[in-house]
Amino acid sequence: MADLLAKTETTNLKLERNQEIQGVVVFVGDKDVILDLGSKAEGVLSAKDFTDEKLASLKEGDRVSAFVIRTENESGQVVLGLNKPVPVGKSGGHTRNWDKFITAKNKAQVLRGKATELNKGGLIVEVDGVRGFIPSSQVTLSQAAKIDDLVGQELQVTVIEIDPGQNRLIFSQKTVVSEETKAKLGKLKHGDKVKGKAAAILPFGVFVNLEDSLEGLVHVSEISWEKVEDPALVVKIGEEIEAVVTNVDLATGRVNLSIKQLSDDPFAKIAEKFQPEDVISGTVTKVSSAGVSLELESGVEGLIASGKIEAGTDYPIGKKVTCLVDSVDVPKRRVNLVPFVTSTKDLIYK
């Protein structure tokens, strides 16, 4: 463990824009991914930087390389990006017509492009000589399960995200949404309960055929309160689905859904039994640069952060460990722990 900590902890961490740096994943959320950069520095990546598949497979302890966008935000975090920032309008030595795409996004214009290759998580599409990306989640339901068939085809797309500073251009496959469909969508609102059948299952989520011929998508993060590694192990094609509406997109005709929000997060109730300074035991399940993960009980994870661990302490997998509860983080569904020490000799923690 001492060697592990030595690799992750640094002193006097000095960062500059464009600098490449490695960090250890300590939190994966729907909007942000938090990295431990060492020396008590914390970096934040937008979840949008990752493909849906990559975000779904990302877990605590994974190492991620990123580039510094800003050395500090209002929360004191280092703002990171997966792509190295480039001068506005430049890409690989060629000038991009960013204005064209900015205008297209602002006016919701439909562009025509050609799918040139299948990439992990989606399609590379070329529009007027400029390459952009369509995530799998932005492909129409009828084609999502056979996305490779789109390579070589002409597609209609709209710009949904553009960031010249990060050389980032994201498209959505444009579908014609009829006035009849828009009227049906207009009847749905956030929090409505709906039913349908699972029509396609991909690594990033489940497509659902809803009533009135509407399309729904349950992202992998919205299937269960517990982390789902593979949606196909939880949901089967043709299975009846009941879910809650989280968003209605009139432009794409798609309804974003959540299965897990049909019930309260059980962790919130479970966490009530863990109070600061409680002495508890858990079994070591993983040792990473972020620290030591323990299973406290079924579905409840504890973490002894690397900064709380005394050098030379060994935590073999399967070992039963006694700890003190430091705090409970309900959003991260985690109990933060510190080692339980019976002697006050040389004690430095907290």
Q: Where are the domains of the chain?
A: 2-81, 90-173, 179-262, 267-339
For 146, which DSSP code? T
pLDDT of 300 higher than 80: yes
Looking at residue 73, its pLDDT comes to 73
Looking at residue 109, its pLDDT comes to 87
CATH classification code of 267-339: 2.40.50.140
CA distance 101 to 144: 25
CATH topology of domain 179-262: OB fold (Dihydrolipoamide Acetyltransferase, E2P) (2.40.50)
Read off φ and ψ for residue 261, nearest 5 degrees.
-75, 0
| Residues in contact with 78: Cβ distance below 8 Å, sequence separation at least 6, in sequence order | 15, 21, 37, 41, 42, 43, 44, 68, 70, 71, 72
pLDDT of 5 higher than 50: no
Distances 62 to 59, 191, 242 between C-alpha atoms, Å = 6, 34, 33
Q: What is the pTM of this model?
A: 0.56
34-65 pLDDT tens trace: 998 876 678 899 887 787 777 878 888 888 98
Average pLDDT over residues 92-108: 73
CB of 45 closer than 8 Å to CB of 82 = yes
The chain-wide mean pLDDT, for the chain, equals 81
Looking at residue 46, its pLDDT comes to 85
CATH classification code of 90-173: 2.40.50.140
Superfamily of domain 2-81 in the CATH hierarchy: Nucleic acid-binding proteins (2.40.50.140)
Amino acid present at 316: P
| Residues in contact with 188: Cβ distance below 8 Å, sequence separation at least 6, in sequence order | 194, 214, 245, 248, 255
pLDDT of 236 higher than 70: yes
Looking at residue 39, its pLDDT comes to 64
CA distance 32 to 2: 29
| Residues in contact with 254: Cβ distance below 8 Å, sequence separation at least 6, in sequence order | 141, 215, 216, 217
pLDDT of 75 higher than 70: no
pLDDT of 302 higher than 70: yes
CB of 256 closer than 8 Å to CB of 247 = yes
Residue 2: pLDDT band (50, 70, 90) is very low
CB of 181 closer than 8 Å to CB of 214 = yes
